[in-house]
Chains A and B, each alone.
Chain A
Amino acid sequence: MKTKEEILALLPYGPGFTFVDELNYLDEQRVEGHYHFKPESYFYAHHFKDKPVTPGVILTECMAQIGLVSLGLFLLLKERPEEPETKPLKIAFTEAQVQFKKPVLPGETVSVTAEKIYWRMGKLKVKTEMRIDSNKVVCSGTLSGMIFK
């Protein structure tokens, strides 16, 4: 079984599109992680022109990288440990239903938790929530994706 550090190292994102700093918890049911939104990220100069706010799609991506991809990778590799690490991953984001409650500003750190609803035939569906300062919920919803080797 992979550790949370090993899963983090296996995430298939480049530096300009990684929205996970660390996974704090990971088992077959649940994952927790956090990310610090750096004020110098390129999108703050454009969204919005005079007032930087983290785009909702980026918040959704952050929840997906922690809640779907990290947990999905853990479940996939646990089920099929014989797969060579060099074999490319196939990942598809398939559904998102998200509610946004508060803005996330440059320099804020968010924590994401996700609970598995089901994992079946390569499809993972989770219920997820993002918080700032571990109390204020900024967004929440359900996400699904498919992951294969």
Chain B
Amino acid sequence: MTEQEIQDQLKTVIEPYVQNQEAFENLTKETQLMEDLEVNSAHLVDIILDLEEAFDVEIDDEAAEKMLTVGAALNIVQELLNAKD
């Protein structure tokens, strides 16, 4: 999977939980899931579960807690995908 493909997939996963559409349209790697996209902490757990399913990976709780920005989420998914190969 290319970085672009991972990013597209990630966007598909988080979209249903986004409260701030404008921030979502202007998404960058620095975008904060909670502060900018206004995802609540309960939905952050759903995003973790949906990412696990979408990418067929297991995200441990320690990694999940670091998933505060789009870039951090991309890095974590990328690392887990690399570890699978």
Residues of A with Cβ closer than 8 Å to B? 92, 94-95, 118, 120-123, 144-146
Contacts and interface: CB of A to CB of B under 8 A. Distances in A.
A34 to B, nearest CB: 28
A118 B49 contact: yes
Interface stretch (B1-9, B28-36, B38-46): B38-46
B64 interface: yes
Nearest to A120: B45
The SS class assigned to the A binding surface is strand
A92 B42 contact: yes
Interface residues on B, range: 10 to 19
Contacts of B64: 121
A95 B45 contact: no
Nearest to A95: B42
Contacts of B42: 92, 94-95, 123, 144-146
A92 B64 CA distance: 20
B73 to A, nearest CB: 15
A132 to B, nearest CB: 31
A60 B48 CA distance: 27
Nearest to A122: B45
B61 interface: yes
A122 B40 CA distance: 13
Contacts of B40: 94
The 6 A-B pairs of least Cβ separation, nearest first, read A94-B42, A123-B45, A121-B45, A146-B42, A120-B45, A123-B42
B66 to A, nearest CB: 12
B21 to A, nearest CB: 20
A66 to B, nearest CB: 20
Contacts of A118: 49
